[in-house]
Structure 1
């Protein structure tokens, strides 16, 4: 009888501890988001060999074909057409190889068609204001108003306006790309703030930096860490 009671008490204690551990489980980047960090970084950096591996891992983690295509298209706004096109070409090779090996990847849904009467500049201005937290003005936009129109109309209106990726995911892509690039610390700092406005936590940004340290590029991670530290002050 005493043994049975002891076993019952141990079972209840173990259950309670396990349940508490489940409640206290640390939130962070999902496995898919971790793969997006690596896909974005290697695309922006032009490391196609490592990108090939990251793309395979992304598909294995459950990212759809259309989600990855959208990541690679989104990146042209930050790393340029050559990197984006090379990324897409590499992705095509990956899909052909996987198909030859009998792997069937999910295409996933397409982006909702954009209303024909949408004013991209007006819509993009609203999106930019929401992401930044205030209307965006500055001397550089007065000096070159065309760049202001392109940013609002095309980047925030046409690209961010596509709903296949949400704002949070697009900022993970953007932060990862900028972290892998040299000479863009002001933009990286800005997108750390924008990313947090979309719901990315400070701990998740730190997780992105850790991924860079362990799997991408330590020097770039150290730079991002310093930039993020200045943002947090």
Structure 2
């Protein structure tokens, strides 16, 4: 077996002049992984390279894979993902993975950006204030999920209404309203994080519907799952596919 020309070219586009230490210690593994992850998988993914790298970054945060994140962050920056886009992915991850998991990635991101001469802090992206975050977040969530948001408020016990307000004011009002990423990309990042967490299939189904509402159809979501197979393995990939099939069934062949 040898690493294919396509795999070498795709790898070089992300990591120019990189020499793998594993190629010396684990040559057979590197060949099979690189041929799969950098040739076979991209051939089946209908997403542009920037989007593919952003999907991977979101997934790696959810998986707590900080060393691989550093490597892939370098690749993402090499293909044009901007520092603002990266920071917005990291910030948004707090709403889905929690600060306990995201803290190390915030630090790692800052270190990588500073090593490349990026001056921090970056330009602010907030569009809300403490007075407007709840109303703007609620309006934005309704624009994506429609009447389901009203139903969640109506059916919530009184002692849990604060959780609904958190979702509106914090998850949507603090994060989704920010600049740097549009709604299609934010929903795709959320999908990638939740499927990579595992065990969150009810929420994954909700965000499959949310993705569809903002224009990320079945093909985009399958593309994201396909891109993530080498990084998350088959159990979580197959769980995500099952959720997609349930919410967005494949169209019957004509």
Shorter-normalised TM-score: what interval?
A: 0.7 to 0.9
What are the ranges of 5 or more consecutive residues in structure 2 without an aligned counterpart?
1-43, 250-254
TM-score under structure 2 normalisation? 0.72
Distance across 1 between alignment mates of 2:130 and 2:193: 32
Partner residue, 1:76: 94
CA contact (8 A) 2:127 2:179 kept: no
Relative to structure 1, the CA distance from residue 27 to residue 34 in structure 2 (aligned partners, 3 Å threshold; closer, same or farther) is: closer
How far the C-alpha of 1:141 sits from its partner, in A, is: 5.7
Structure 2 CA distance for partners of 1:204 and 1:73, relative to 1, 3 Å: same
In the other structure, the counterpart of 1:193 is 209
Q: 2:75 matched to 1:62?
A: no
Contact 1:56 1:94 (C-alpha < 8 Å) held by counterparts: yes
Q: Which residue number corresponds to residue 177 of structure 1?
A: 193
Deviations 1:113-147 (A, max 9, x none): 53558522211111011011335123346550000
Q: 106-115 vs 39-48, which deviates more? A: 106-115
1:33 matched to 2:51? The reply is yes
After superposition, the CA RMSD in angstroms is 2.5
- The structure with the larger Rg is 1
The reply to whether residue 122 of structure 1 matches residue 135 of structure 2 is yes
Are the aligned partners of 2:138 and 2:173 in contact in 1 as well (CA < 8 Å)? yes
Aligned residues: 203
Partner Cα distance (2:172, 2:189) in 1: 14
For 1:144, what is the secondary structure of its paired residue? helix
Work out whether 1:45 is the aligned partner of 2:66: no
Note the 1:213-232 alignment, pairs <5 A.
Answer: 213-232=229-248
SS of the residue 2:197 aligns to: coil
Deviations 1:128-173 (A, max 9, x none): 1101133512334655000011111111112111122111111111
| TM-score, scaled relative to structure 1 | 0.78
Structure 1: give runs of 5+ residues left out of the alignment: 1-25
Distance 2:128 2:189 in 1: 25
Which of 85, 104, 107 matches 2:103?
85
Residue 107 of structure 1 deviates from its aligned partner by: 8.0
CA drift at 1:214: 3.3
